[in-house]
Structure 1
Amino acid sequence: MKNTYASYLGLQRLLSAQILQTSSDDELLFIIIHQQHELWFKLAIHELDCAIKSLMKEEAQDADCIIAFKRLSRVSAIQHILISSWDVMATLTPDEFFLFRETVGRDGASGFQSVQYRMLEYKLGLKYRFLDFELPGGGRQTIDVFENAQSEEEKERLRIALAAPAIYDAVISYMARVLPAFGIEDPRSGDYSHLHRKIAAVFRAWSYVYRNRASAPELYQLGEKLIDLEDAFRKWRFAHLATVSRVIGANTGTGGSSGLRYLRAAANQLFEHPMYPELWDVRSEMFSRPQEFDLAAAGYDSEQGPSPQPSPRMRGEGGSREAGG
C-alpha cells in the first residue's frame, strides 16, 4: 500500500471518529475539542515518560538532564495549546449546548472519566486513587477513580501510572545524585503511589540551586521548567472553570458532580497543595530576611524531612483528596 499523507496519518479513521448523536450543528465542536484534548494528553504523557526515564538512569549525566528539559519544554508547549482550546469551547453558547447536553450526559458521560487525564495528573505528581467531592444539594461522596475506567485494561493503565515515579520523583532522584552533600534520600527505591510531601533536604538543595545558579545550571533550569508546568496546569484548570461557568453556569456537571463548585475546588487545590512545594517555598524564602523563613511553620520536619500527614481528603493509594480534575 502506498504511503500517502492520508494513510500515514490514518485520516480515514481519525476523521470518521466524530459520531454525532443529535442534529445540532454545534455538537461537532464539542466532540472535536475533547478528542484533541485526548490526543494532546497522549503526547504529554509520552514526553513525561521520556523525561522521567532520562533522569532516573543509574548514571544520569548532564546530557540526560538536557534531554529531560527538552521533553518538559514540549509538555509546556502542549499545555499552552490545551489552555487556548478553551477559547474555542467558549464560543458555545448556553442555548446551543442545551440542544445536545442531555445526550452527552444521558449515561453519565463526563470528562471526569478520562483515563488519560488521570494518567497525566499522576505523571505530573497528583497521586491519588480516591476523590472526595461535594454533591449537588449538599453532602459528599468519595469515589474510586479506577472505577471510572471502561475496561480492565484501562484500570491496569491507571494502576501502573499510580505506582510509577512522577516527574518530580525523577528530578529529586537526579538531584540526590548530583548534590549528595544535602543528604537527599534517592526516591528510586521508594513508594510512588502517594502525593509528594515536603522534604527539608530537598528544600535546602533547591535554595542552594537558586542562590548559586551558576553552580548547578541544569537543576536551575529543571526547577524553572517544573514551575512552568505547574503554573500552566493551574491556568488550564481555571480556564476550564471559566468556560464551564460561561456555558452552563452553576448547574450540575454531566457526570453528576456539583459542576462549578467541583471545578473551583480543583482549581484552588493546587494553590493549597502545590505539586512541587519546595520550589514554591524557595520563592518565599529568598525574599525573607536571613533565618526568618521557618521550616517547621512551612510544614517541614527540619530533621527528618517529610511534612506531617496530609489532609484526610488528600491521600494517595489508601485515601482521597478533595475534588481535582
Structure 2
Amino acid sequence: MTTPDPTPESIVHAEQARLDYRDAMTYGDYLQLDAILNAQKPRSPDHNEMLFIIQHQTSELWMKLMLHELGAAKTAIATDRLPEAFKMLARVSRIMEQLVHAWDVLATMTPPEYSAIRPYLAQSSGFQSYQYRCIEFSLGNKNAAMLRPHEHRPDLLAQVQAAYEAPSLYDESLRLLARRGLPVPASHCERDWTRPYEASDAVEAAWLQVYRDPSHHWDLYQLGEELTDLEDAFRLWRFRHLTTVERVIGFKRGTGGTSGVGYLRKMLDVVLFPEIWKLRTDL
C-alpha cells in the first residue's frame, strides 16, 4: 500500500506548525538579543556615534571571551593539561585577530565625525575598561596605578585586583617548566605576583633547553610557540590601536586623561614574554 503524496496545502500547514515558536525558546531568547540590541544609547545627534558604540561593545564581548579562555588556560597549565591549554590559547590568538580587524571599521570615522561626538563622551575612555585591564594583568603587565581607574566601582575593582594579585599566564608557564625539571630559578616560581615581571638569563637558559631539543620537550616547545603567537597578535592589536587613534584624533589627549598617542606608543615597548623572544637571537 503506497502513501499518497502530500498536497501543497498539507505541506503549508506542516511548515506553519514548525514555524510556531510561541511555546519555544527562540534564537533571540537564547542570545538575549532584546537586551543586547537595545544597549546602544547614543548621546549625540550625530549619525556616526552608533559605530563608535558598537565598536567598543563588541570589543568588550570578545574580551569577555578572552578572559574566559585565558583563565581556563592558566588552570590547565597549572594542572599539567597542556593539550587543553593549547586549544584555549590558540582561540585567544584568533580573538585578538578579530580585535585587530575591528580597528579597520572604526578607522572609517574621520576626525570631523569624531569631533562631533567627543564632547558627549565626557571622561569615558577605553582606558577605563576593567576587562582590558584584567587581560593585561593576566598576561603579566602588572602596574598598581592601573587599579585606580576602577576604585569608584568596588565590584569591578575586586575583579581587577584578583587578576593583579594572581600569577600571570607566563608565571604559570615558568612554574610548569620548573616542575618538568628545567632550571627555572626559584625567584621566578614563587614571588610577589603583583610585581612587574623581570627578565632572567636563567629563565632564558631553561627555554633554550626546550628549543634546542624540541622533540624531547615537544609540549613545552609548543607552549612556547603558543605564547609567541599570542604576544604577536597582541602587539598587532596595540599597533593598530595606535594608528587608528592617531588617524582619528591626532595627538590630542585622550578623553580619560591619558596622553593619547603618546601613551599608546609607550605600550608598544611592553614585552610580555621576554625570554621567548630573546632566545631566537641566541639559538
Match of 1:112 in 2: 127
**SS state of the match for residue 248, structure 2?**
helix
Tell me if 1:98 matches 2:115.
Answer: yes
**SS state of the match for residue 215, structure 1?**
coil
Q: CA RMSD in A?
A: 1.6
Which of structures 1 and 2 has the larger relative contact order (alpha carbons within 8 angstroms, sep 6+)?
A: 1
Matched residues in 1 for 2:209 and 2:62: separation?
35
Matched residues in 2 for 1:240 and 1:128: separation?
20
Unaligned regions of 5+ residues in structure 1, if any?
131-143, 287-325
Tell me if 1:83 matches 2:100.
Answer: yes
How many residue pairs get aligned? The number is 261
Matched residues in 1 for 2:189 and 2:68: separation?
20
- In the TM superposition, residue 256 of structure 1 has moved relative to its aligned partner by 2.0
Query: Which of 254, 267, 285 is equivalent to 2:282?
Result: 285
Match of 1:9 in 2: 31
Match of 1:161 in 2: 163
**SS state of the match for residue 182, structure 1?**
coil
Tell whether the 8 Å contact from 1:146 to 1:158 is kept in structure 2 after alignment: no
Matched residues in 2 for 1:149 and 1:14: separation?
27
Tell whether the 8 Å contact from 2:62 to 2:99 is kept in structure 1 after alignment: yes
**SS state of the match for residue 102, structure 1?**
helix
Matched residues in 2 for 1:146 and 1:35: separation?
22
- In the TM superposition, residue 176 of structure 1 has moved relative to its aligned partner by 0.8
Structure 2 counterparts to residues 223-234 of structure 1, below 5 A: 223-234=224-235
Tell whether the 8 Å contact from 1:176 to 1:186 is kept in structure 2 after alignment: no
Q: Which has the larger radius of gyration?
A: 2
Match of 1:56 in 2: 78
Tell whether the 8 Å contact from 1:202 to 1:278 is kept in structure 2 after alignment: yes
Structure 2 counterparts to residues 176-325 of structure 1, below 5 A: 176-178=178-180, 180-182=181-183, 184-185=185-186, 189-267=190-268, 269-270=269-270, 274-286=271-283
* Greater helix proportion: 2
Match of 2:13 in 1: none
- In the TM superposition, residue 188 of structure 1 has moved relative to its aligned partner by 5.9
Unaligned regions of 5+ residues in structure 2, if any?
1-22
Matched residues in 2 for 1:13 and 1:150: separation?
25
Matched residues in 1 for 2:37 and 2:172: separation?
38
Matched residues in 1 for 2:33 and 2:85: separation?
31
Query: Which of 38, 41, 45 is equivalent to 2:63?
Result: 41
Tell whether the 8 Å contact from 1:80 to 1:232 is kept in structure 2 after alignment: yes
Q: What TM-score does the superposition give when structure 1 sets the normalisation length?
A: 0.77
Matched residues in 2 for 1:200 and 1:251: separation?
40
Tell whether the 8 Å contact from 2:100 to 2:240 is kept in structure 1 after alignment: yes
- In the TM superposition, residue 189 of structure 1 has moved relative to its aligned partner by 4.5
Matched residues in 2 for 1:252 and 1:214: separation?
50
Query: Which of 124, 131, 141 is equivalent to 1:126?
Result: 141
- In the TM superposition, residue 266 of structure 1 has moved relative to its aligned partner by 1.7
Tell whether the 8 Å contact from 2:138 to 2:169 is kept in structure 1 after alignment: yes
Q: What TM-score does the superposition give when structure 2 sets the normalisation length?
A: 0.88
Matched residues in 1 for 2:37 and 2:171: separation?
38
How far does the alpha carbon of each residue in 1:149-192 deviate from its partner, in whole angstroms, 9 at most, with x for none?
A: 441011111111101111101111111111x1525438664321
